Structure formats: structure tokens, C-alpha cells
């Protein structure tokens, strides 16, 4: 599929979604973002839907500015996946004990580790943990009381649409996959900077206060970028620790298991990139970097397929692709429309929660992941299709 253009008075808006199928609120958001004087272009992914400040499933390229609300409050949210040496026949028929072991090893929802995880014995792929934590003291004032909590939340899942899964690909190979972000510390830093941006005089006349920006070469921008990049790294380290803990669970139960290299990607973040010869600050809110040859992950819902993809480096999309299926209805609407019986039917064959606490995550609340993948054939190529057999949610 090639992109279509959304008419507006601002920077070009290129869409890999049918505008007729996108909420009016989301279209208005896209036009408002594109009208900002710092924006050079917007790319809209096929999983697009209404969000706060900016639409989820959008890529915003700015010159000399960044909008903290467009990044969102779960800074650095993203995915990690890893293929194992196990095959479907290696798994037990009853997967409930495996799910319980994962939930015991990795706190979910609002839970934290009782003490910070000893990362020294975990093969997380990250070095310099002491240096990373020493940078905490430079973060914005609201973070300073949260260091202990942040250390205990490292290696925890959270709630909402975050998950840990054991999956099978079409060749019956077992994969591990998880989705999480920067936990409470990212949220607190984001909220602080969003309010700070709204108070700046140059943001006084914006059509939406949530579009407030920081501009380059100012103390407020430098402070935000410092906290932003730290939180993005925290999110990546959080996923790495969870994946290491998940591997330990698998090793305990499958003595000869081995693991391929991890695939990991942010899908809620800012990156400094060059496009069209311009140095830009690219915000991907619900989108992954899909540079040529770059591996990524596009998950479905808790009862649908997920995809491992390789980027095609499409410059029209600022080398981006979708971050998932994307919601087609709000959480409140899903709770009103569906029952636990519906959830059980739509997650048949998956070892997972099937109670009222996760009805808002029912597969029918999300767009069809196959249609989302088909709409971006010029952005990524699929290398593996996965289907979960275990899904852990907070």
C-alpha cells in the first residue's frame, strides 16, 4: 500500500490508513500537529487512533522543537522478543504452571520487587549500571523521592496493554515476547514536563494546550531531553531485566533451552535523526523505527497474532512502521460492550487471565492485525508470525 495525503494547512500529512476509517477527533489532532510551525511532516500509521495531544500511531518530525505530550507519559514504551530453541512439542499440555512461574518471577500491575533486582548475575546486555543510577540525581525535582521505588520497579511489567507472552511461530518454534515501558518514573517525569511546557509564553495561543513544545537552545528543552533520554533508557533496561528473568524461568523448566539474540524496539519515544538532509527530532507515538534492515516487533491483541518484521527504510514514513494493532474502541466502551464470556471465547487456547479486570483488553477492542500489517507492505516485510499460548497481564 502507498500512502494517501490528508488535506490541511500545515506540514504534509502522509497516511497509511484510510482517512474514512479514522475518528474525526484523531484527524483534527493530526491537522493541529501538522500546523505547528516547527513540524516538517507527519506520517500516520495504519493502527492510528485518538490520543492525548497527538494521535497514537503517528510519527511527528520537528525541527528544533519537541512536544512532551506528543511523546506521552509512558516514555520509552516498547517491545522485546526472543526466539528459543524449544518447539511446541517441548511445552506441557497444561501451561498454567508456566504462567504462574512467570507471574511469580516478574511482578505485574502495580506490584514491585521487594528489593531491587541483582542485575550483576543477569545477562541483560547492559553495562554501566552504577553510572546509569548515578544519573538519577540529575533528574527533575519530582523524581528525587522516587529512586528507591524506581529501582524496585525495574524488571516489572505494569498493567493496561502491557504483557508477557510465550508464543509459537508458524514453524512451531517457541518465542518469548514482552511489552512494557518506563513505569512510574517515566510517567512522573512526563507529567512534570508537560505542565512545564504548557506554562511557556510561546505556547499560549496553540489550538490544543497538549501540543505545547520546548524549543532548542533553551534550558527547558535541555532539561526535558536529559530526563526523556534517561527514561527511555530505563524502559529499555526494564525490558532487558524482565527478559533475563523470563529466560531464568524457562531454564528452570527446560534444562537444555537456548536463546537467539533479542529483538528490541521502542515505540513511544524521541530520536534525533536526519531526513531529507535535515536534522530533526522525530517523535514516534505508537510507531517503531523501520530503517532498512532494522528488526522490529508489531504485536496484536491478547488473542491475535504478532509479527516480527524487518524495516524497508521508507523515507516517506520517516523510516517508521506501526507499533501494533491499535485500539478501535475505548477501554470504557469495551467494558460496556463485552463480558468475561466473550473474553474467554476470544482467547480460547491461550493460558491467560479471563476475568473482568482485563475485559478492556479483549481482542475485539483492537483493529484487525492482519489488515494493519497488509496496509504497510511498503514499510516492513514480515519475517515471522507468532501466536501466543501463554499471556501474562497485570
Please report, in range form, the residues annotated as the binding site for Mn(2+).
74, 162, 179, 267
CA distance 30 to 84: 40
In the annotated binding site, the residues are: 74, 161-165, 179, 267-268, 299-302, 306, 323-326, 393
CA distance 26 to 31: 9
Active-site entry in 49, 193, 266, 323: 323
In the annotated binding site for GMP, the residues are: 161-165, 267-268, 299-302, 306, 323-326, 393
Cell 530533526 appears where? 280
| Helix axes of 96-105 and 219-253: crossing angle, nearest 10 degrees | 140
CA distance 34 to 295: 29
How many helices and strands (H and E) does the chain possess?
Answer: 10, 17
Of 306, 264, 307, nearest to 289 by C-alpha is 264
Question: What are the residue ranges of helices labelled H in the chain?
Answer: 24-34, 68-71, 96-105, 129-134, 147-153, 183-198, 219-253, 331-337, 340-346, 369-374
Sheet containing strand 56-62, strands side by side: 4-5, 13-15, 39-49, 56-62, 278-285, 268-275
Instruction: Tell me the three state secondary structure of residue 32.
Output: helix
130 is catalytic: no
Q: Which residues are catalytic?
A: 323
Amino acid at each position: 500500500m502507498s500512502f494517501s495525503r490528508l488535506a490541511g494547512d500545515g506540514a504534509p500529512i502522509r497516511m497509511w490508513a484510510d482517512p474514512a476509517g479514522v475518528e474525526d477527533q484523531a484527524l483534527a489532532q493530526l491537522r493541529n500537529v501538522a500546523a505547528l510551525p516547527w513540524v516538517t511532516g507527519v506520517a500516520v500509521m495504519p493502527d492510528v487512533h485518538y490520543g492525548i495531544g497527538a494521535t497514537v500511531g503517528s510519527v511527528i518530525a520537528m525541527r528544533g522543537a519537541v512536544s512532551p505530550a506528543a511523546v506521552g507519559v509512558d516514555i520509552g514504551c516498547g517491545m522485546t522478543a526472543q526466539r528459543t530453541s524449544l518447539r511446541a512439542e517441548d511445552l506441557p499440555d497444561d501451561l498454567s504452571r508456566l504462567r504462574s512461574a512467570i507471574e511469580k518471577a516478574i511482578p505485574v500491575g502495580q506490584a514491585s520487587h521487594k528489593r531491587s533486582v541483582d542485575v550483576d548475575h543477569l545477562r541483560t546486555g547492559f553495562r554501566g549500571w552504577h553510572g546509569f543510577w548515578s544519573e538519577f540525581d540529575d533528574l527533575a525535582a519530582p523524581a528525587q523521592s522516587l529512586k528507591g521505588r524506581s529501582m524496585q520497579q525495574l524488571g516489572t511489567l505494569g498493567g493496561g496493554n502491557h504483557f508477557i507472552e510465550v508464543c509459537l511461530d508458524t514453524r512451531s518454534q517457541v518465542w518469548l515476547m514482552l511489552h512494557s515501558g518506563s513505569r512510574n518514573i517515566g510517567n512522573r517525569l512526563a507529567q512534570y514536563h508537560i505542565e512545564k511546557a504548557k506554562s511557556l509564553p510561546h505556547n499560549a495561543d496553540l489550538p490544543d494546550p497538549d501540543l505545547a513544545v520546548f524549543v532548542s537552545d533553551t534550558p527547558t528543552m535541555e532539561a526535558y531531553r536529559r530526563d526523556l533520554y534517561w527514561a527511555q533508557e530505563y524502559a529499555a533496561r526494564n525490558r532487558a531485566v524482565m527478559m533475563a528473568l523470563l529466560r531464568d524461568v524457562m531454564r528452570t523448566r527446560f534444562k537444555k533451552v537456548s536463546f537467539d539474540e533479542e529483538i528490541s524496539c521502542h515505540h513511544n519515544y524521541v530520536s534525533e535523526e536526519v531526513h531529507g538532509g535535515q536534522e530533526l527530532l522525530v517523535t514516534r507515538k505508537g510507531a517503531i523505527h523501520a530503517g532498512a534492515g532494522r528488526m522490529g516487533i508489531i504485536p496484536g491483541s491478547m488473542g491475535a497474532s504478532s509479527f516480527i518484521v524487518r524495516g524497508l527504510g521508507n523515507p516517506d514514513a520517516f523510516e517508521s512502521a506501526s507499533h501494533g494493532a491499535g485500539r478501535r474502541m475505548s477501554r470504557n466502551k469495551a467494558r460496556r460492550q463485552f463480558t468475561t464470556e466473550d473474553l474467554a471465547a476470544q482467547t480460547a487456547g491461550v493460558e491467560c487471565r479471563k476475568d473482568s479486570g482485563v475485559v478492556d483488553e479483549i481482542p475485539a477492542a483492537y483493529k484487525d492485525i492482519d489488515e494493519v500489517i497488509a496496509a504497510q507492505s511498503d514499510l516492513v516485510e514480515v519475517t515471522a508470525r507468532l501466536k501466543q499460548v501463554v499471556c501474562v497481564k497485570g
